[in-house]
Amino acid sequence: MMAAPDLFAAEYQALLRARETYGSEQAGADDYRRVLGELTVHYERLMRETRRLIQRSDRAERDMQQMNRELHQLALQLQHRATHDPLTGALNRGALIDYASDVLEHEPAALMVLDIDHFKRVNDEFGHPAGDAVICAVVTCLKQRVPAPAAIGRVGGEEFSIVWPGLCASEAAEMAHLLCAATGALRHEAPIARPVTASLGVGWYPAGTSFELAYSRADAALYRAKRDGRNCVRFDAH
């Protein structure tokens, strides 16, 4: 196997000749001029190559930094897609459960379950694109009225859950009535020419309550709201 060529072989030979000339007592001015000229040529070449290498290194570093920024953005996008509903931007079911479970483990919180009333009729009468528009409008309405650290999650087709730390039971009931009224007051784009209401089940739970227990009770309250005529709020009385 042939050895790889030495990129500095010519320079090394020029350096050896310069040393030999420097150490020779017989070398004259012409000899010194000759080896100095040779060293100058090689030095200039090395300077040009060094500049090119530095420029390439700078470009490579800039490219690497750009790639790192793009990878960071991609990681954020993937994380968002893994935890959020693609239609509404609300948390998806898994992310909402994780967040609610963490909140309830450490502090009391209200849990609301909201379901859009007669949503199947909306899809049947106006089509699925119109139904999607209604869902997005409802979530936008909720986001405008539900500040962090409360979180909204889409847990089913037209069903949403809100975990709201920092509220007492009376405040949770008050906010649920406000959200119910705001949802029913929405005016949707054509072809939907009538109000679309929502029903809510609400509960307030102390720290240490499991999400499963809290959700089952709030969900039971939601079903009472459905049985009582919809477009209303029912509170978990346990």
What pLDDT shows up at residue 31?
84
What pLDDT shows up at residue 127?
95
Element counts in the chain: helices (H) and strands (E): 7, 5
Residues across the chain: 238
List the structure tokens of 4: 């790889």
Stronger pLDDT, 34 or 227, i.e. the higher one: 227
What pLDDT shows up at residue 7?
61
Stronger pLDDT, 99 or 238, i.e. the higher one: 99
Nearest-angstrom CA–CA distance, 208 and 106: 7
For 17, counting Cβ atoms within 10 Å of its Cβ (0-12 exposed, 13-18 middle, 19+ buried), the class is middle
Q: What is the pLDDT of residues 133-173, one digit of tens each?
A: 999 999 999 999 999 999 999 999 999 999 999 999 999 99
Region 217-224: what's the mean pLDDT? Answer: 97
What pLDDT shows up at residue 200?
98
pTM metric for this prediction: 0.73
Q: What is the pLDDT of residues 3-43, one digit of tens each?
A: 555 667 888 888 888 888 888 888 888 888 888 888 888 88
Q: What is the pLDDT of residues 63-112, one digit of tens each?
A: 999 999 998 998 888 888 899 999 999 999 999 999 999 999 999 999 99
Residues labelled as active-site residues: 158
Nearest-angstrom CA–CA distance, 29 and 27: 7
Tell me the average pLDDT of the chain: 92
Q: Which among 205, 206, 204, 197 has a CA at the least distance from the CA of 225?
A: 197
What pLDDT shows up at residue 20?
86
Nearest-angstrom CA–CA distance, 79 and 90: 13
CA-based R_g, the chain, Å: 36
Q: What is the pLDDT of residues 192-214, one digit of tens each?
A: 989 999 999 999 999 999 999 99
pLDDT higher than threshold 60 for residue 54: yes
Region 218-226: what's the mean pLDDT? Answer: 97
pLDDT higher than threshold 80 for residue 183: yes
Compute the C-alpha angle 172/232/206, nearest 5°: 25
Helices (H), 84-167: 93-106, 119-126, 128-145
